Amino acid sequence: MGSGDLLVIHELWMDQERLDTLVIAGPLGSDARRLAGAGKQLAWSVDANSHFEAMTEYYVFRNRGAFETSHDWDLTSYDVNGLRTRLDVSFLPPGVQSGAVIDGAEALWPLAEAAHAVTALDDTGNRILGLDVRDYDVDGTFFEISWADVSESDDPPSAAIASLTRSDIPGDWILITWTRQPNPRGGQTYCDWCHSNLRDASVERSVALGLVREYSWACDQCLSAGEYVNTPDGWGGDVWPFA
Ligand SMILES: [Zn+2]
């Protein structure tokens, strides 16, 4: 695998009966992870760029022989060919990435997937600036109108998603404009769970997991022990999304 491939973190959780659940790390895996119940333990994690690759590594880890699949989509890389040379959306979860249509430096999603894309962009430490609506003719020409400018909003993702629920949207494609959040850590140098020092690698890992959205950062040890699924002290929300 080349170093430019998109890697998605997968985690193996064991429930109290020691049964395995292999999930995508972070909020995307929350529903599946919750099924493992209280007392679950993080047994292992692996970075992979397809479902097939994750399962293959998992089979090796558990000495189960070779993983085989009859689903072609299992083999599909999480990378989308060619995206990287234009607009890099490789930091997005695979489902959101594959729905994107990249037009030069702009990214569009089908209307039905746009809210999910907004959430994923926000989850990965980006600031949503605005939405445009595009409507294509059969010959490929299109008109585009500015739909929502949320750059001054207190809660840009919610404002953007609310604008998508209007019934008078004049097209089927949503162009999302965003910018990377500058230094979301605000200078924090310690782990939110054990207060030990963060390293660049654990900060990157925390961003990849989506912890950045909760302004939370975990050290290597708390990440590998699965400690981050517990609500950190002083967190101000209702339900910790990584539980
Ligand atoms: Zn820690």
Domain boundaries, the chain: 8-75, 84-180, 184-243
Residue 192 alpha carbon to ligand 1 centre in Å: 6
**Cα(45)–Cα(133) distance, rounded to whole angstroms?**
39
Residues less than 5 Å from ion ligand 1, measured at CB? 191, 193-194, 219, 222
Q: Where are the beta strands (DSSP E) in the chain?
A: 8-14, 20-24, 41-48, 101-103, 106-110, 126-136, 142-149, 173-180
**What is the pLDDT, as a whole number, of residue 80?**
35
Residue 226 alpha carbon to ligand 1 centre in Å: 10
Strand arrangement, sheet containing 173-180: 101-103, 106-110, 173-180, 126-136, 142-149
Residue 82 alpha carbon to ligand 1 centre in Å: 37
**DSSP secondary structure code for residue 197 in this structure:** B
Residue 193 alpha carbon to ligand 1 centre in Å: 5
Chain segment 100-158, per-residue pLDDT in tens: 776 655 688 889 889 999 998 888 778 899 999 988 777 767 788 999 999 899 999 99
Read off the pTM: 0.47
Sign, CA torsion 114/119/123/126: positive
**What is the pLDDT, as a whole number, of residue 7?**
65
How many helices and strands, by DSSP H and E, does the chain display?
Answer: 8, 8
The answer to whether the CB of 173 falls within 8 A of the CB of 109 is yes
**What is the pLDDT, as a whole number, of residue 182?**
60
Residue 175 alpha carbon to ligand 1 centre in Å: 38
Chain segment 51-70, per-residue pLDDT in tens: 788 889 999 999 988 888 77
CATH topology of domain 84-180: Ribulose 1,5 Bisphosphate Carboxylase/Oxygenase (3.30.190)
pLDDT band at 84 (very low <50, low <70, confident <90, very high): very low
**Cα(57)–Cα(63) distance, rounded to whole angstroms?**
10
- Mean pLDDT score, 70-78: 59
**Cα(149)–Cα(142) distance, rounded to whole angstroms?**
21
Residue 195 alpha carbon to ligand 1 centre in Å: 6
Residue 188 alpha carbon to ligand 1 centre in Å: 13
Q: How far does CA 178 lie from the centroid of its chain?
A: 15
SS3 content of the chain, % helix, strand, coil (to 5): 30, 25, 45
